[in-house]
Structure 1
Amino acid sequence: MYSSLVRLQNTFSFFTTVAFVVAAFIAASDLLAPRTPTVSLLKTTNLQVVRGRPHYYSSKKEEYAIIKFSLEADFSSLFTWNTKQLFVYVTAEWPSAGGTGSGRNATNQAVIWDTIITAPSADHLANIGPVAMKKLKRSAQGKSIDPSRGKLSLKNQRPKYQITHPSGKVAEQEDVVLRLHYNVQPWVGVLTWNQDEEFWKWKPLRGSLSKKFSLPALKKKDEGKKEGSRV
């Protein structure tokens, strides 16, 4: 009854119980820290639609939208001592043809840009170069959280991803908007995404939606050459 194996099992069980309770308290501590993310600017600066092939061996061409944008946002309040990293991304959204509010595919959504902002305690996990790593360590030296973490200021930012549609056509698409999203990844606890409603000290993200715009018509490369030859 009191063999070494039984004692080892009891010790391990007690240790896991204590670890679980401590982890629960750490995760619950996030609720005590106010979250007040703000977006002061989100707008498009340049729109272009081009034709291209989805891969090298494809003979069929598709239309791709290239959306440049400017962004001013402050996510610094999302960084606490339990924050591992913050995932921020921008999507382009537009209604489907004939889609309804209750339809399954009522809205098309595609990511055009994303970034990962690590906390000082997780900088070693960031896939960055040695020079940028030295700057991060220097900025966070002697501080639990660097005040500049989470502040984004992008001007005429090029998209990381060109977007298209299963139909292969996106030119002259109307009612397109840009939307900013975030995902907080803690060291201990559950992942939390952008909020739509206020929850105690956590405020919803305001200003995360841009004004509606329309994608331009397909740019034809041969038009300028033809006009020049006629003259």
Structure 2
Amino acid sequence: MHSSIVRIQNVFGFFTTVAFVVAALIAASDLIAPRTPSANVAVKDVQVVRGRPHYYSSKKEEYAVIKFSLSADLSSLFTWNTKQIFVYVSASWPNSTSTELTNEAVIWDTIITNPSADHLQNIGPVAMKKLIRSAKGKSVDPSRGKIELKNQKAKYQITAPTGKVAETDNVVLKVHYNVQPWVGILTWTPQIEFGGWKKVKGGVSKVFKLPALKVKKEEKKA
């Protein structure tokens, strides 16, 4: 006869095998659910100034401040296995030293949680009550994943290692996302279409140029 320890080990081994198989099936279910995100991003205002872009910056340099509008529908990314979605907007422009490289800087981001994961957000009690009310009786609130921003100021400024960004050509804004499931691997904005997973429809702004350095009035008088 097997000892009690051996029996416990057998039961535990069977349990972990079943749990692993169930988790694998849950993760694989994401491949069946179609993803058809769409987004429209447009630049509203751009300024290039000279100063300290961050409180920890040790020296003054040129940095760009962008205002943009964003209309996006990422609701198809939410399934029963979606924990939260990380959405971000980046500015991209060609690298001056290599045609194969591209400069890219994130200017804005946000996290959209599934209603069942709202407790993970660091928000106040009033906002939490609204989220709970909106999620009542729904596995996934259909309004989740829909973003409407007008003249949104970027959270982060655009800088460059050279300290100069003024009059940079061929700049575009791009919308990206990262889906974090309850079970499975992180998935990023696809570069190619795979089955029901489609690229972001739109999601790229018109090409624009960063303006010349904005000179302060004091400097003009001097």
TM-score normalised by the shorter chain: which range applies? Answer: over 0.9
- Per-residue CA shift, 1:5-33, capped at 9, x if unaligned? 21111111111100000001111111221
**How far has the Cα of 1:222 moved from its partner?**
2.9
Aligned residues: 222
> Which position in structure 2 is the counterpart of 1:6?
6
> Which position in structure 2 is the counterpart of 1:191?
186
CA contact (8 A) 2:179 2:188 kept: yes
- Structure 1 pair 58/150, CA: closer, same or farther in 2 (3 Å)? closer
Q: Secondary structure at the match of 1:66?
A: strand
- Structure 1 pair 57/77, CA: closer, same or farther in 2 (3 Å)? closer
> Which position in structure 2 is the counterpart of 1:92?
91
Q: Distance in 2 between matches of 1:124 and 1:226?
A: 54
- TM-score, length-scaled by structure 2: 0.94
- Per-residue CA shift, 1:36-78, capped at 9, x if unaligned? 1011x21100101111125668663111110110011100011
CA contact (8 A) 2:68 2:151 kept: yes
Q: Secondary structure at the match of 2:201?
A: coil
Identity of matched residues, %: 72
Q: Distance in 2 between matches of 1:46 and 1:204?
A: 27
**How far has the Cα of 1:120 moved from its partner?**
0.5
> Which position in structure 2 is the counterpart of 1:26?
26
- Per-residue CA shift, 1:71-113, capped at 9, x if unaligned? 1110001101110000000001111113122xxxx21111000
- TM-score, length-scaled by structure 1: 0.91
Q: Distance in 1 between matches of 2:54 and 2:156?
A: 14
CA contact (8 A) 1:196 1:205 kept: no
* Structure 2 segments unaligned to the other structure (5+ residues): none
RMSD: 1.7
The correspondence of residues 1-231 of structure 1 with structure 2, limited to 5 A, is 2-39=2-39, 41-53=40-52, 60-101=59-100, 106-222=101-217, 226=221
Q: Distance in 2 between matches of 1:182 and 1:59?
A: 32
- Per-residue CA shift, 1:176-219, capped at 9, x if unaligned? 11011000100001111111222112111121111110001111
* Structure 1 segments unaligned to the other structure (5+ residues): none
Q: Distance in 1 between matches of 2:200 and 2:67?
A: 22
CA contact (8 A) 2:53 2:157 kept: no
Q: Distance in 2 between matches of 1:52 and 1:178?
A: 23
